Amino acid sequence: MCFSSGAPSRLFVSLQRSEITLEQIKASDLGSPRFKANPYPFYARLRAEAPVCRTSLFNRPAWLVTRYDDVLLVLKDERFAKEWTSRMPSMPSFAKSATSSMLNMDPPDHTRLRKLVNKAFTPRLIEGLREQIQTACDDLLDAAVPNGRMELVHGYALPLPLAVIGELLGIPAQDRLRLHSWARSMIEAFTIIDVLRALPYMWLVVRYFRKLFAHRRKQPLDDLVTALVQAEEEGDKLSEDELLSMVLLLLLAGYETTVNLIASGTLALLQHPEQRDRLQQNPTLTESAIEELLRYTSPGDIATIRLAREDVTIGSVTIRRGDLVLTVLGSANHDESQFPDPETLDITREPNRHLAFGQGVHYCLGAELARLEGQIALRTLFCRFPNLRLAEAPESLRWRKALFFRGLERLHVAF
């Protein structure tokens, strides 16, 4: 077990001075931009010295699980529940509506809702988006050409998947960035203070979608929001709150991981020119390259929260009933017991059983869409700009403040 201070500055002293005993940290420390820049040395120490590490989250006892086999166990074991928000301090009703998605549900409720939306992410439907994704990539890069440089996150990595999922859902183009801004404040809330600060944005999101649902009931369109509204009215037992949380989840699942994959994947290839050259010389490696970039960069760094239904012993540590559990996907994806030479980027790695999209019944709904968008986006980027290079010093790179995700705040490139 780890024992505690919780101060981020002491955390980084611990990282740099291996003789210092690992301390318990607050889970929120793992969301700082400085930590996200390179979390893997600390994760390696946890796997070696405290693979199930006591921590705290929202002022409650919690555990970080970091070894591949243990992470896989928690993701698939029914003794760890996803429905935990009811144990949080009371929130306004609109906030509960925004957070009570199937992501925080267990079977049978999760099964019912998952079945309802699976039709939106079938392989056939995803493959049918290929031309739209390619056109969006070309248009975004065309706009950047006259400048000879671009800020890749907001100029390419974000607008691409946001446009695709926005079109699928039927969210008007002029509203998408505004919704992203509101939703981001919710995603980045991982302390009680953060949650309180995010409440006004939750209210804006709830109000926006309730108005959109009312509009679609009066004027249906050929989009997913209309389909879900009609499913509700046709007796599929989709309540108004379920409808709201479902659409918000689909919006976030449809672009959040992909933004980080495209931006962090670009950076990784620029920092490993031999791998970039292999990909440019052999585009057939694109699919395996995306799998390796998912493993290596881990856009979803920590899986969403689980709750121990009963006392569970992992290794020599007993997680008590009611404790929160955080499975560290970024650590599992760099576990040397599963991936030989895990700190090496190898776009031909095989096998590559990474956990970037989780595992079990809560496996990421948008995984195949993220894969396709990542493949097309990176292949198009490096094909259009074979001499792409960083346009800022590596030490100036800024990472997002986020507990569950790992992504760049910005990435300046030139061509």
Asked whether 406 and 260 are in contact (CB, 8 A), the reply is yes
**Is pLDDT larger for residue 84 or for residue 360?**
360
At residue 139, what is the residue type?
D
Arithmetic mean of pLDDT over the chain:
87
Banded model confidence at residue 8, pLDDT cuts 50, 70, 90: very low
pLDDT of residue 340: 97
Instruction: Please give the tally of structural domains in the chain.
Output: 1
Q: Reply yes or no on whether the pLDDT at 21 is more than 50.
A: no
Token pair in block for residue 133: 């994704």
- Tell me the whole-structure pTM to 2 decimals: 0.89
Q: Which helix (H) or strand (E) holds 402?
A: none
CA distance to 321, 329, 403, per residue, from 60 (Å): 12, 21, 16
Residue showing tokens 């709201």: 244
- Is 50 strand, coil or helix? coil
DSSP state of 340: S
Q: Reply yes or no on whether the pLDDT at 11 is more than 50.
A: no
Q: Which residues does residue 308 pair with via DSSP β-bridges, in sequence order?
A: 80
pLDDT of residue 316: 93
Q: Reply yes or no on whether the pLDDT at 77 is more than 50.
A: yes
pLDDT of residue 250: 85
The pLDDT tens digits for 297-308 are: 999 999 989 999
DSSP readout, 60-104?
Answer: EEEEEE-SHHHHHHHHH-TTEES--GGGSPP--HHHHHHH-SGGG
Percent of the chain with pLDDT over 70: 87
The pLDDT tens digits for 350-383 are: 999 999 999 998 888 889 999 999 999 999 999 9
DSSP readout, 297-322?
Answer: H-SB-SPPPEEESS-EEETTEEEPTT
Q: Which residues does residue 390 pair with via DSSP β-bridges, in sequence order?
A: 413
Asked whether 405 and 187 are in contact (CB, 8 A), the reply is yes
Question: How large is the average pLDDT for residues 115-132?
Answer: 84
Own/partner pairs, 235-240, CB within 8 angstroms, 24+ separation: 236/116, 237/112, 238/113, 238/116, 240/97, 240/210, 240/213
Q: Reply yes or no on whether the pLDDT at 108 is more than 50.
A: yes
Packing angle, helices 109-117 and 240-253, rounded to 10: 60
Ranges 28-37, 134-143, 151-160: which has the least confidence: 28-37
- Is 215 strand, coil or helix? helix
Asked whether 232 and 126 are in contact (CB, 8 A), the reply is no
Q: Where does 188-339 have alpha helices with state H?
A: 192-218, 224-233, 240-253, 256-271, 273-281, 286-297, 329-332
pLDDT of residue 214: 93
Question: How large is the average pLDDT for residues 248-252?
Answer: 84
Structural domain of 111: 3-414
Asked whether 390 and 110 are in contact (CB, 8 A), the reply is no
DSSP state of 251: H
**Is pLDDT larger for residue 66 or for residue 12?**
66
pLDDT of residue 19: 30
Side-chain half-sphere CA neighbours of 199 within 13 A: 12
**Is pLDDT larger for residue 2 or for residue 123?**
123
The pLDDT tens digits for 207-233 are: 999 999 999 999 999 998 998 888 755
pLDDT of residue 111: 82
Ranges 17-31, 100-114, 208-222: which has the least confidence: 17-31
pLDDT of residue 189: 67
| CATH assignment of the domain containing 328 | 1.10.630.10
